[in-house]
Amino acid sequence: MPTKPKPKARSALAEHRRRLRGRGLRRLEVQVRGEDAPLVRAVAAALADPERAAEARALLRGRFAPAPARSLRDLLASAPLDGVDLERSPDTGRAIDL
Protein backbone atom coordinates (compact mmCIF):
# COMPACT_ATOMS: atom_id res chain seq x y z
CA MET A 1 0.00 0.00 0.00
CA PRO A 2 1.60 3.32 -1.09
CA THR A 3 1.90 5.99 1.53
CA LYS A 4 1.04 9.61 0.97
CA PRO A 5 4.03 11.90 0.77
CA LYS A 6 4.43 14.16 3.74
CA PRO A 7 3.95 17.88 3.07
CA LYS A 8 7.28 19.67 2.78
CA ALA A 9 8.32 21.51 5.86
CA ARG A 10 9.15 25.15 5.32
CA SER A 11 12.82 25.73 4.94
CA ALA A 12 14.53 27.65 7.68
CA LEU A 13 15.23 30.48 5.25
CA ALA A 14 11.59 30.74 4.14
CA GLU A 15 10.48 30.74 7.77
CA HIS A 16 13.02 33.44 8.64
CA ARG A 17 11.84 35.65 5.77
CA ARG A 18 8.19 35.12 6.77
CA ARG A 19 8.99 36.33 10.30
CA LEU A 20 10.78 39.38 8.90
CA ARG A 21 7.74 40.25 6.75
CA GLY A 22 5.60 39.89 9.84
CA ARG A 23 7.76 42.55 11.52
CA GLY A 24 7.34 44.86 8.52
CA LEU A 25 10.84 44.35 7.13
CA ARG A 26 11.78 43.65 3.53
CA ARG A 27 14.80 42.02 2.07
CA LEU A 28 16.57 44.07 -0.58
CA GLU A 29 19.53 43.43 -2.78
CA VAL A 30 21.57 46.34 -4.05
CA GLN A 31 24.74 46.53 -6.07
CA VAL A 32 27.29 49.14 -5.10
CA ARG A 33 30.99 49.69 -5.56
CA GLY A 34 33.22 47.87 -3.11
CA GLU A 35 34.26 51.01 -1.29
CA ASP A 36 30.59 51.99 -0.79
CA ALA A 37 29.49 48.66 0.73
CA PRO A 38 30.34 49.62 4.35
CA LEU A 39 28.49 52.91 3.92
CA VAL A 40 25.36 51.19 2.57
CA ARG A 41 25.50 48.67 5.42
CA ALA A 42 25.76 51.51 7.94
CA VAL A 43 22.75 53.29 6.38
CA ALA A 44 20.74 50.05 6.47
CA ALA A 45 21.73 49.50 10.10
CA ALA A 46 20.69 53.06 11.02
CA LEU A 47 17.31 52.60 9.32
CA ALA A 48 16.76 49.30 11.15
CA ASP A 49 17.67 50.76 14.56
CA PRO A 50 14.51 52.13 16.24
CA GLU A 51 16.51 54.80 18.09
CA ARG A 52 18.22 56.19 14.97
CA ALA A 53 15.68 55.39 12.24
CA ALA A 54 13.66 58.62 12.38
CA GLU A 55 16.75 60.83 12.18
CA ALA A 56 18.32 58.75 9.39
CA ARG A 57 15.07 58.67 7.43
CA ALA A 58 14.62 62.44 7.70
CA LEU A 59 18.22 63.06 6.64
CA LEU A 60 17.93 60.75 3.62
CA ARG A 61 14.55 62.11 2.56
CA GLY A 62 15.80 65.68 2.81
CA ARG A 63 18.69 64.90 0.49
CA PHE A 64 17.39 62.24 -1.91
CA ALA A 65 13.59 62.26 -1.93
CA PRO A 66 12.01 63.68 -5.08
CA ALA A 67 10.38 67.06 -4.73
CA PRO A 68 6.64 66.75 -4.20
CA ALA A 69 4.60 67.41 -7.32
CA ARG A 70 2.97 70.84 -7.30
CA SER A 71 -0.22 71.75 -9.05
CA LEU A 72 -0.40 74.51 -11.65
CA ARG A 73 -2.44 76.54 -9.19
CA ASP A 74 0.33 76.30 -6.58
CA LEU A 75 2.97 77.25 -9.13
CA LEU A 76 1.01 80.30 -10.28
CA ALA A 77 0.30 81.36 -6.70
CA SER A 78 4.00 81.28 -5.88
CA ALA A 79 5.12 83.03 -9.09
CA PRO A 80 6.62 86.50 -8.65
CA LEU A 81 4.25 88.93 -10.38
CA ASP A 82 5.97 92.16 -9.40
CA GLY A 83 6.23 94.44 -12.42
CA VAL A 84 3.89 92.37 -14.59
CA ASP A 85 1.02 94.34 -16.12
CA LEU A 86 -2.13 92.23 -15.85
CA GLU A 87 -4.56 94.86 -17.20
CA ARG A 88 -6.12 94.24 -20.63
CA SER A 89 -6.94 97.07 -22.97
CA PRO A 90 -10.65 97.52 -23.68
CA ASP A 91 -9.91 97.56 -27.45
CA THR A 92 -11.98 94.81 -29.09
CA GLY A 93 -10.42 95.20 -32.53
CA ARG A 94 -11.75 96.86 -35.66
CA ALA A 95 -15.37 97.13 -36.65
CA ILE A 96 -16.46 94.81 -39.46
CA ASP A 97 -19.65 95.09 -41.52
CA LEU A 98 -21.17 91.72 -42.10
Quick: pLDDT tens for 64-84.
Answer: 988 888 888 888 888 887 777
Phi, psi of 19 (to 5 degrees): -65, -40
pLDDT number for residue 90: 82
* Residue 20 located in a structural domain: no
| C-alpha distance across the termini of the chain, in Å | 103
Residue 65 domain-assigned? yes
Decide if 52 is inside a domain.
yes
pLDDT on residue 54: 95
Contact call for residues 17 and 11 (beta carbons, < 8 A): no
Of 18, 52, 51, 47, give the one whose Cα is nearest residue 30.
Answer: 47
Low-confidence ranges of the chain (pLDDT < 50): none
Helix (H, G, I), strand (E, B) or coil at 35: helix
Check residue 51 and give its pLDDT.
94
Q: Look at residue 40 and tell me if it is in a domain.
A: yes
Q: How many domains does the chain have?
A: 1
- Residue 41 belongs to domain spanning: 33-78
Question: Alpha helix locations (H) across the chain?
Answer: 12-22, 37-48, 53-64, 72-78
